[in-house]
Structure 1
Amino acid sequence: MAQANTHYYATRDPLGAPNGTRGGDFVTAPEVSQMFGEMIGLWCADLAMRAEDGGDFAYVELGPGRGTLAADALRSMARFGLAPDVHLVETSPVLRRAQAERLPAAQFHDSIATLPDDRPLIIIANEFFDALPVAQFISTAKGWRERVVGRHEDRLIAMPGADPADDAVPEALRRQPPGMIVEHCPDAVAIAADLSARIAAQGGAVLIVDYGYQGPKVGDTLQSVRRHKIADPFNDPGEQDLSAHVDFTAIAAPANDRGLRITGPIEQGKFLHTLGLGHRAEALRRKNPERETEIISQYHRLTDAYEMGSLFKAMAMTAPHWPAPEGFA
């Protein structure tokens, strides 16, 4: 999964039009509507202005796509006189070029290790953790085994490995019938631990928006999307997006250990409603009556339960001395 996604993102812009009619393999919330990034910007501005040491914060985004979210968020923050330095953690040269066009003053990083360490950080991770590689463990008649990739005839398949892996499965989930799968994302936990250490030491917050669940949980969530349709994740490795649902509980654990405040996860629709997305949509509609149908459609795409509203969740991890963030009431 890591090798496939590294090649995939390094060689293309995977984002298409919100209606799936023009290019790309999938669409993210910032590409659906400017309103998503604007709400995130308001969230950042509100939090920074209420924090005693929040005036000189750096805006950080992990996996920032085309830079659309950051551009919309910064525009919202500018309304309140905030113009933070922008730091983008991105390894794809294709996407870096798109980000640089929208955000010419942005500083790029290959990893979080080189982010500023002299000020608070407000870190946005929208659909970042879902692309990190997961390990899968499958229950068999002989106990748990790690699920590995093998070859059958001319195609790749998933199969149980040879070595016992019972200790890798949470004890509460071990008694399962054969064929059941448990996932773990070690990279997500490691990154969450590093981010938590920075926030605890420097101040600030991390906002994660992604599709996921509160674990531990049984289930195979590995999926692939190509040309806006579900595809076989073992076909054409490196030529289609691979992702898996995010275990918010696992990500929150290292933040709890550092004493950070955990808020959420809650459904994206509720989060955006609480931040005032409905008011923003109405204001846009009044200002642009010729776009009324489009704006209403964007609003429902972001918030409706059968669209992105329920599947996607929002969770914040905030420095102990910073105020509680908005949007989670």
Structure 2
Amino acid sequence: MVDPKGTRQTMTALAEILRQRIAQQGPLNLADYIGECLLHPEHGYYTQQEAFGRSGDFITAPEISQMFGEMIGLALGATWQAQGAPKEAIVVELGPGRGTLMSDLRRIAPAVPGFDSLPIHMIEASPRLRKLQSDALPGVIHHSEVSQLPQAPLFLIANEFFDALPIRQFRRKSAGWEEILLGCDANGLCFGKAAPQPYPFLAHRLEDTAPGMIVEYCPALPSIVAELSQRMADHGGAALIIDYGDWRSQGDTLQAVCHHQHADPLAAPGTADLTAHLDFEALYNAASAAGLRPTRLATQGVFLERLGVTQRAQLLAKSLSGAALESHIAAHRRLTHPDEMGGLFKVMGLVPEGAAVPPGLEP
């Protein structure tokens, strides 16, 4: 099999399992490969590694500062109030990491009377992470899939959840697409390609791409968004989706991070985090098809500033000095500055038709 990206991996237990699978069943698409690397029961990254925080491979916004979770909590709480403060509502987080964001949200929740009494539900596939989340938030209710959530108003946050969903990659040809696959050669796992063919879910991308361009497609996104949207359309609620990405998938965005460094996606499978940029257009279309009203896309920095993060930062700074104050100032900048996470990360809200959009995402 041809290796267009020129990559090789070192031997791990998962690499050998994947080589045997390919030998028996043929090449894997990228979604299957990423799924195994992240969630293999014994050798997957999220089942065996400490991924989050300063001891892990990456630091998400909630780990940078408590202000992030506090702003999310106030935004969801205000949205819950605007919808009549339904007592049967639940607060939901997709991919909660160590539970840091929800811990900060729960601490600020009493500022919105009644919001702190709502039960917390989490979508988490990793048993190890479920344990960490339960330790941080006793009484949290876990589910493996969004289809298991109750039929109730959902007030939901998904921060860096969709970027971890496995993606497939396709390279444009003159009248179709060749899918990028994973196979084996004498040196180990390698990238290859399938014969070109049309794919209905990529038909609209023939208009804005040229031969040779790569687009990515997340197979799980439409069904997940449709499931959540159905509940919000039927019962009320709102969702805040925060992730790195842009309006439309363009180019190869698959990346691996190991020990805080960018790595080869095929090097040592199961030991690195694999992510790809979120295609917000696909999110918008899936929610709209299910009857929801997505908001316009905003940058994380603008969203947080509209919610009052700078005023919160100034208040917290009054009790700090020295290195702690410097760290606090740096955290505020990292979350909001256009050259850092403030510009890289985008925010989209999802609400039922006729409902007020979450604060910070007004037109």
User: TM-score, normalised on structure 2?
Assistant: 0.84
Unaligned runs of 5+ residues in structure 1 are: 18-22
SS, match of residue 59 in structure 1 = strand
Deviation per residue, 1:120-151 (Å, 9 max, x gap): 11011000000111111113478521111122
Q: Which residues of 2 match residues 164-313 of structure 1 at below 5 A?
A: 164-165=197-198, 167-173=200-206, 176-215=209-248, 217-290=249-322, 291-313=324-346
Pairing 1:98–2:135 present? no
Residue 180 of structure 1 deviates from its aligned partner by: 1.8
Unaligned runs of 5+ residues in structure 2 are: 1-33
Structure 2: how far apart are the matches of 1:228 and 1:282? 30
Structure 1: how far apart are the matches of 2:112 and 2:174? 61
Deviation per residue, 1:165-207 (Å, 9 max, x gap): 4545334436755532111112012111111111101110111
Q: Which residues of 2 match residues 32-111 of structure 1 at below 5 A?
A: 32-81=64-113, 82-83=115-116, 84-111=118-145
Structure 1: how far apart are the matches of 2:174 and 2:83? 55
Structure 1: how far apart are the matches of 2:264 and 2:177? 24
The worse-fitting range, judged by mean Cα deviation, of 57-66 and 152-161 is 152-161
Decide whether aligned partners of structure 1 residues 149 and 241 sit closer, same or farther in structure 2, where only a CA change above 3 A counts: same
Q: Which structure has greater strand proportion?
A: 1
Structure 2: how far apart are the matches of 1:315 and 1:91? 24
4+ runs of 1 displaced by more than 6 Å? Answer: none
Query: 2:38–2:274: 8 Å Cα contact kept in structure 1?
Result: yes
Residue 87 of structure 1 deviates from its aligned partner by: 0.4
Amino acid at match of 1:262: P
Query: 2:91–2:121: 8 Å Cα contact kept in structure 1?
Result: yes
Count of aligned pairs between the two proteins: 322
The worse-fitting range, judged by mean Cα deviation, of 287-296 and 134-143 is 134-143
Query: What value does the CA root-mean-square deviation take over the aligned residues?
Result: 1.8
Amino acid at match of 1:242: L
Query: 1:222–1:245: 8 Å Cα contact kept in structure 2?
Result: yes
Pairing 1:11–2:45 present? no
Amino acid at match of 1:259: G
Query: 1:61–1:87: 8 Å Cα contact kept in structure 2?
Result: yes
Structure 2: how far apart are the matches of 1:142 and 1:258? 31
Structure 2: how far apart are the matches of 1:275 and 1:186? 33
User: TM-score, normalised on structure 1?
Assistant: 0.93
Decide whether aligned partners of structure 1 residues 174 and 137 sit closer, same or farther in structure 2, where only a CA change above 3 A counts: farther
Decide whether aligned partners of structure 1 residues 258 and 171 sit closer, same or farther in structure 2, where only a CA change above 3 A counts: closer
Residue 71 of structure 1 deviates from its aligned partner by: 0.6
